[in-house]
Chains A and B, each alone.
Chain A
Amino acid sequence: MRVPSSMISWLVAVAALLALPWLVTSDYYVNIASQIVIAAILALSLNLLIGFGGMTSLGHAAYLGVAAYLSIYLTAHAGFGHLAGALIAIGATTVLAMLFGFLALRASGLGFLMITLALGQILWGVAYRWASLTGGDNGLGGLKRPHPFGLNLMDPAIFYYFVLAFLGIALWCIARFVQSGLGQSLQGTRDQPRRMRALGYEVWLIQWLSFVFAGFWGAVAGLLYAYYHQFVSPQTLHLTTSAEALLMVIAGGTGTLLGPVVGAALVVILKNIVSAYITRWLILLGVIFVAIVLFMPEGLVPGLTRWVRALRNRPPADKPADAPSVAKGPAR
């Protein structure tokens, strides 16, 4: 059982999320909230690999982009219905995750990172060059948001609730996964792969199943991304998208359930604010990466907390070294 105080803060958080369209009246902010929710689903799925599996992937945009491309192509250009298009897109992307997982898990640590990056960038090249199918640099559009159960998803508030429901399901499923035997053994393979192997666990299979599960949720995020933007371009598949997702995970603190949600909010809000003033988001993204690694390798939120504590001259309540950090995570 949870302690009541955390129960209350949960209820307050959920109530605030539900009341958000009334609190902010402008459609612009409701749309940003939808962007955050979709990004959060992507970050949650990536955190399964990075935080709980110790597998740093730099190709997670693949699932977002492929699902988005497929759903738009199938429904807007190949004449499929919305439900069929969505199911096929998610199913096919999950199959792609099975293949990519098979390839990437031939290596571990840095090799895993290189293979995921290479696979992701090849997909980007395919989307960019195979113009007859993907529209090339112009991207693919023409998707109309569906009307599930008579809901008008063109309404920003209703769309927000729609994606929020998916975030709730994703959180529930991923929390269940992490607590399940498979999720526990995944964390075991992250910390002690050799010992797990010696104990008779099929390390490869555990990692592969988790990889596919993460790919599935990446695909769900991609479907919602397609509905939100009603458009997809090669940029969605690009390394920068993978890097942004990675930043969300690191920013919120890896290996926690809600960290990626906070990280997604931070990154999306920052990107929207910055883009309103300057066009150099990519430079800022790079500077943030360098700064995080150099100054707060345990993540932005835990790092800032540590700084605030240090400024107040208080001894830290918990040792930051215990938090799984990306920088010091298992390399090989």
Chain B
Amino acid sequence: MNFWIIQGLNGLAFGSLLFILASGFSLIFGLMRIVNLSHGAYFMLGAYVGVSAIEAGVNFWIAILIGGGAICILGTLIERFILRRLNGQPLAQVLVTLGIAFIIADTCVWIWTGDPRPVPMPRELAGALRVSNLAFPIYRLFVIGVAFALAAALWLLLERSRLGAMIRAGVDDLPMARAMGIRTSLLFSAVFCLGSALAGAGGVLAGPILSVYPGLDSDMLPLALVVVILGGVGSLVGAFVGSLLIGFIYSYGQALFPDLAYVILFLPMVLVLTLRPTGLFGRQAI
């Protein structure tokens, strides 16, 4: 019983990290029809920037802001100066983001070498929470809390704010939204900026759990893709449910069948694509 609870919480924590990454990815894809293959690289670069900041003596919380801010700026520049030039050419945009992902990944190896970097936990969240005979790291509970708060904030932003209404209009029917006078170009920048910042900050936040290593991008990107395939395009609820689902599958899989943890990831994809190709919460096929 203890095993199931502990692994369930681990899965919840991993799914939370995944949600921070995948929500931005899903929003960008849903609104801009850009499959941002650099998203995993943003996550890793954000984590490396955060590590360097921490090693330079910066407080963990400031490091999260630095990591998120740096990637936010990088993403905005890429969107403004490269992706915008390729407006209306989705495949060209994908290939550019793939190229940028390679450049970032190799640059990270160049700067931070190939050795994994452990990320120290913030002191105030070290230690474990004990309930009867169960112990669970406080930091993971904190990450879970952050993801739920983020999900709530994003939900409020999308469903209750003017900006969110514009984003939803853009996701549903971009030409019509533009015709109604919504400045979609600003909207695109805002969403891409937000998604990049989430990826970068998520990378730093993931540091104490996953540590930072070359290949972190290749580990996370396919999971984000699977989350979007499962949850449906541009759906916040889909990204949330999909992330937690993959988190659980991955966590239990790794504990029960360590060799096969990745094989098990095929199962939800096979099921969803066979039975419901729009994804669990999507309205349109990907």
List residues of chain A with CB under 8 Å of any chain B CB. 56, 58, 103, 106-107, 109-111, 113-115, 117-119, 121-122, 124-126, 128-133, 238-240, 243, 246, 250, 280, 282-283, 285-290, 292-294, 297, 326-329, 331-332
Contact = CB atoms under 8 A, between A and B. Distances in A.
Contact of A288 (B99, B100, B104, B218): B99
Contacts of B85: 294
A130 B94 contact: no
A319 B218 CA distance: 39
A287 B96 CA distance: 9
Q: What bracket does the count of chain B residues touching chain A fall in?
A: 35 or more
A110 B277 contact: no
A331 B90 contact: yes
A237 to B, nearest CB: 11
20 contacts: A58-B98, A103-B274, A110-B286, A115-B225, A117-B37, A119-B269, A121-B221, A122-B265, A125-B262, A126-B263, A129-B259, A130-B260, A243-B98, A250-B95, A286-B101, A290-B100, A292-B95, A294-B82, A326-B92, A327-B89
A118 B94 contact: no
Interface string B174-213: 0000000000000000000000000000000000000000
Contacts of A132: 259
Nearest to A108: B285
A238 B101 CA distance: 14
Contact of A130 (B90, B262, B277): B262
Contacts of A332: 90
A56 B106 CA distance: 24
B222 A118 contact: yes
Contacts of B37: 117
Contacts of B219: 125
A290 B259 contact: no
Interface string B88-128: 01111011101111111111001000000000000000000
A58 B102 CA distance: 14
Interface in B223-272: 225-226, 228-229, 258-263, 265-266, 269-270
A286 B106 contact: yes
A328 B273 CA distance: 27
Contacts of B285: 106-107, 111
B151 interface: no
Contact of A283 (B89, B90, B103, B274): B103
Instruction: Please provide the 8 A-B residue pairs with the shortest distance between their CB atoms, ordered closest to farther.
Output: A289-B99, A286-B102, A111-B286, A327-B92, A121-B222, A286-B103, A125-B262, A282-B106
Given A113-B94, A125-B222, A238-B218, A107 B286 contact: yes
Contacts of A107: 273, 277, 285-286
A326 B99 CA distance: 15
